[in-house]
Structure 1
Amino acid sequence: MSLAPHLGQAFSLCLCLVLATLPVALGLANCPNGCECDDDTLMVNCGEGTLDVLPIALNPAIQRLVIKNNKLKTIDSSMQFYAQLTFLDLSFNDMLTIPERSFAYHAKLQELHLDHNKIGQVSNKTFLGLSTISVLNLRGNLIAELEYRTFSPMVKLAELNLGQNRISHIDPHALDGLDNLRVLYLDDNTLTTVPGELTFQALHSLAELYLGTNSFMTIPGGAFQDLKGLTRLDLRGAGLHNISGDALKGLESLRFLDLSDNRLPAIPTAAFQRLGRLEQLNIGQNDFEVISSGAFSGLRELRHLELTGAQRLRRVESGAFSGNTNLEHLNLSSNKQLNELSSIALGGLPHLSTVVLKANQLSSLDEGLVPWADLQTLDLSENPFECDCRLLWLRHLLGNVKSVKSVEESTVPGKETTEMDGDKVREGPGLFQ
């Protein structure tokens, strides 16, 4: 009987044992060119270089491996030698595919970054073995769809980034099993409808959802009704032309909402009635022409409002912010046609401390618009103010401020800045000169 096959098997077994018990010094000896290998911290960083395959002879005890900006095409079998990894970054490479079960031996991996590659597909077998992972980054790839239970092996996943892909279809059960997911990025894809109710039903712990830069047109009623714990919803640039009255149903815990850079023809007042705990709203760069009385009336806890770059906005009516008595920061800048602020548009806002009216078409301001002396920050720059008797009160106000507070003049030509113990009042270019 020939001993050759048995000797070959024995040799392979010995090789595996040797790789698993390499001395610390040997890890340094096999550090590829362009990489930094530290056997004290068990870290390998290959930075930028020309690696097109995973190194096979690194210290098998390494815990952090970073191979960014290289030329890796795929994840080969050598990955199994690094079963102690807790952090793996293979971003900015040329990977087209991830073979099934590539991470079957990586039960300790907590973060996996595969962003900015050319990965076109993932399945429910791609991530088998990743039972402890908390962060998965697949941003900037070519993924077109999410299949049934794609991420179900990752039961402890807390953050999933799928932004900047080509996702146009999501199986209703694609996200099943992600009971601990808190942050989900689906922005900058090719979705034409908000994912269905079943998609979000499994995400009991979701706190942040990013859906901007898609092409939704509208939001179906109750689309988010199962996301009871959501605190941040980003829908900027989502192509929205309409938001129905019950589109935001179920979002009673929402604190931050971004609806900027859409095509909304009016403030969606009815939808806002459900957001009693909202604190910050960005709604600039939309198509409304008027902010009507009570436009934000349901937002009782609103503190920070950004309404900038609305190219068609012409008028803010009286009582526009009635009911927003906790408002502290109001930014109404860069609305190129805004030329009318009602004399009581900002009335009844006892906590208002910052008002930015920069770069509008305002020619005058009413003295009773706001308790000016109580503001910490006021920016009126880049408006075509008519410096006549109607604005004499403002000149007196600024003069009184200068007489009792330390003053620091800016050196910007045509612009004057008054600092009041660190607070700023900005006048428009050439104002009162």
Structure 2
Amino acid sequence: MGRNMSKSRARLTFLLLLLVALVSSSLAAENIAADEVDRFCYPDSKRDTRHSCECNNVSAAPWGMRALRIDCSYKEYRTADLSELLPLYIDTLDLSWNALDRAPVFSSDSLHQLNLMHNNISQLSGNNFARLVSLRELYLSWNSISQVEAQTFAGLPHLQVLDLAHNNLRSLPGQLLAPLLVLTSLDLSWNRRLNETAQLQTGDLYRDLGINWKLNTLRLDACSLRELRLPAGAPLKELSLRRNLFRRVPAQLPLTLLQLDISDNLLERLLPEDTANLTQVRQLFVEDMSLLEGVAANALARLELLESLSFQNSRHMNHFDGDAFGALPKAGSSFPTLRSLSFRGTILRSFNATLSPVFGQLTELDLNGLPLHCDCELVWLKRLPVETGGRCFKPSRIRGMLVTSARHEAFSCDTWPRWAYGLVVLTLIALCAVGIYLIVMGLRPHRGVTMRRKVGAGSPYARVTIEPNRQENLS
């Protein structure tokens, strides 16, 4: 009995000592962490100035663990001003809008997000980020990066988001992205000479760069691309090709695409072959097209899962075929998911009534800025249950009025075709001209009549003799 009591006391004493040790080590770690935070956020050279960073302790997911977020943006930092060792528990570090001349080399096992946007970084060296083993998001856009070494992203097995937009990338090393095993979002936009990259010229971007098949989002805006081939089996969900030099929608695209942005390219007409492989697309953007004039019949017939479609600011677009969605049934619609459609900023004047099954189910139809001809062929648009913002341009008596506000009687069509009015006017002008000619000819003397002057005493041109007054002579 006594031995058991002594053992219990010994165990209790051991547990108390262990607890004290853990508390002491935790307090020591807290003190060390506090010192590291002060050293990084408030260095002696920048203490009590506007150049010191802003450091905030927050509770991070998933269990509310302690996390440190440091904001050093707009502080005019250079790379030499930064210490390599980051504070404990750091989760986010923002160094955007500084004067960094090269990418800093940091060491941390807790940093998840690093923002180096808007600096003067011109190159990335091998293993530049290898000591950031927990990094998930890396933002390097708006720099001057023109050279990237092969092992730049080595040691980043957890990186999910990589942003290299708005740089001067011209060539990329083979297998550059192979170390990024879980990369889901890649942005290479606004590297205007990226079309010279060997991987884009050979056409196998995934294989040559080592892109993993977990990539969901790829942005290649403003890269001067004329053609692009991506693996049809790649599980890509979002693709942005805005502001390139495509004259047709690339034929070889992943079949799993849910969102495609082909805006600001050189298409003149949207044809059925442009959308033949986009059967899974939910959102399609064909905006700011400087040369697009119209959408052909059946051009959208394969997009039966489409939810949102926009032609906004395609300023030369003047034709939208009545069968653009294919031959629609009279009852119901083949496009049950379509909810948003925008023609804002185009020059479409009218829509065929065959489109009413699709337009009637929309929750958003944007017709702002269209020069609509509100005649009997467009009266069905007035009956739609959604406010379109469209205004009548013709006829002049209701110009500027909302389609929904104009009276039903104003949507009328002339019984005669327009050319008939022109013919009537020309006929009246011709008849008037003939009448005037006949009147003038009737008033002129006949050619056989000759006006002869009478000569003699009875002639009005005879000499007149004035005799003196006899009364005057008598006197």
Q: What's the TM-score once normalised by structure 1's chain length?
A: 0.70
Tell me the SS of whatever aligns to 1:136.
strand
**Aligned residue for 2:62?**
none
Letter in 2 for 1:303: R
Is the counterpart of residue 288 in structure 1 residue 321 in structure 2?
no
Cα deviation for residue 349 of structure 1 reads: 11
Say which SS state the counterpart of residue 99 (structure 2) adopts. Answer: coil
1:254 aligns with 2:287: no
Equivalent of 1:315, from 350, 366, 379?
350
Residues 357 and 109 (structure 1 numbering): CA distance in 2 closer, same or farther, change over 3 Å? same
Query: What SS does the aligned partner of 2:284 have?
Result: strand
Partner of 1:409: none
Partner residue of 2:262? 235
Classify 1:233/1:126 alpha carbon distance in 2 versus 1 (closer, same or farther; 3 Å): same
Q: CA deviation at 1:267?
A: 0.8
Q: Does the C-alpha gap of structure 1 residues 392 and 142 become closer, same or farther in structure 2, counting only changes over 3 Å? A: closer
Matches within 5 A, 1:317-396: 317-322=352-357, 326-335=361-370, 338-341=371-374, 343-345=376-378, 347=380, 352-358=385-391, 360-361=393-394, 363=396, 380-381=401-402, 390-391=409-410
Q: Are the aligned partners of 1:136 and 1:160 in contact in 2 as well (CA < 8 Å)? A: yes
Picking from 149, 152, 161, the partner of 1:126 is 152
Q: Distance in 2 between matches of 1:94 and 1:229?
A: 38
Q: Is the 8 A contact 1:324 1:349 kept in 2?
A: no
Q: 1:208 aligned to 2:242?
A: no
Query: What secondary structure sits across from 2:274 in the alignment?
Result: coil
Tell whether 2:54 aligns with 1:36: yes
Give the Cα–Cα distance (whole angstroms) in 1 for the partners of residues 349 and 256 of structure 2: 37
**Cα drift, residue 58 of structure 1:** 4.8
Secondary structure of the structure 2 residue equivalent to 1:132: coil
Unmatched tracts of structure 2, length 5 or more: 1-28, 47-51, 58-65, 328-333, 413-475
How big is the alpha-carbon RMSD for the aligned residues of Structure 1 and Structure 2? 3.4
1:29-428 matches, within 5 Å, as: 29-31=38-40, 32=43, 33=46, 34-38=52-56, 41-53=67-79, 55-56=82-83, 58-61=85-88, 62-76=90-104, 78-79=105-106, 81-122=107-148, 124-166=150-192, 167-169=194-196, 171=199, 172-176=203-207, 177-193=211-227, 195-196=228-229, 199-201=230-232, 203-204=234-235, 206-220=236-250, 222-224=251-253, 227-262=254-289, 263-284=291-312, 285-297=314-326, 300-301=335-336, 302-311=338-347, 313-322=348-357, 326-335=361-370, 338-341=371-374, 343-345=376-378, 347=380, 352-358=385-391, 360-361=393-394, 363=396, 380-381=401-402, 390-391=409-410
Q: Secondary structure at the match of 2:316?
A: coil
Residues 241 and 261 of structure 2 are in contact (CA less than 8 Å); yes or no, is this contact kept in structure 1?
A: yes
Q: Distance in 1 between matches of 2:269 and 2:377?
A: 29
Deviations, residues 175-206 of structure 1 (Å, cap 9, x unaligned): 3432111111111222122x11xx344631x2
Going from structure 1 to structure 2, the CA distance change for 1:315 and 1:348 (only over 3 Å counts) comes to: closer
Judge which range, 121-130 or 35-44, deviates more. 35-44
Q: 2:35 — aligned with what?
A: 26
Q: 1:129 to 1:159 in 2, by over 3 A?
A: same
- Provide the C-alpha distance between the structure 2 equivalents of 1:341 and 1:246, rounded to a whole number of angstroms: 33
CA distance in 2, matches of 1:98, 1:64: 21
Identity value in percent:
24
Q: Per-residue deviation at 1:290?
A: 3.1
Q: Is the 8 A contact 1:319 1:344 kept in 2?
A: no
CA shift, 1:331, in A, is 1.6
Summarize the Cα distance change of 1:150–1:242 in structure 2 as closer, same or farther, 3 Å threshold: farther
Cα gap change, 1:328 to 1:37, in 2 (>3 Å): closer
Give the partner amino acid of 1:175. Answer: Y
Residue type of the alignment partner of 1:174: L
What are the Cα deviations for residues 15-49 of structure 1, in whole angstroms up to 9, with x where unaligned?
A: xxxxx999123213312432134576333221211
Output one character per residue of 1:126-178: Cα deviation in whole Å (capped at 9) or x when no partner: 21111111111122212234453332221211111222222224513333432
Report the AA paired with residue 315 of structure 1.
S
3-state SS in 2 of match to 1:179 = coil
The amino acid across from 2:121 in the alignment is M
The letter of the residue matching 2:132 is H
| AA aligned opposite 1:354 | E
Deviation of 1:286 (Å): 4.5
CA distance in 2, matches of 1:128, 1:235: 33
Per-residue CA deviations over 1:245-269 (Å, capped at 9, x if unaligned) read 2222232111111112212222133
TM-score when scaled to structure 2?
Answer: 0.65
- Alignment coverage as a number of residue pairs: 347
Alpha-carbon distance in structure 1 between the residues aligned to 2:177 and 2:232: 15
Question: Partners of 1:345 and 1:265 in 2: how far apart?
Answer: 21
1:369 is aligned to: none
SS at match of 1:26: helix
Tell me the SS of whatever aligns to 2:67.
coil
Amino acid at match of 2:217: V
Distance (whole Å) between structure 1 residues aligned to residue 134 and residue 72 of structure 2: 21
Higher share in helix: 2
Aligned residue for 2:14? Answer: none
Match of 1:319, SS state, is helix
Alpha-carbon distance in structure 2 between the residues aligned to 1:175 and 1:364: 59
Cα deviations by residue, 1:212-260 (Å, 9 ceiling, x for unpaired):
111112224x332xx2221111111122224442222232111111112
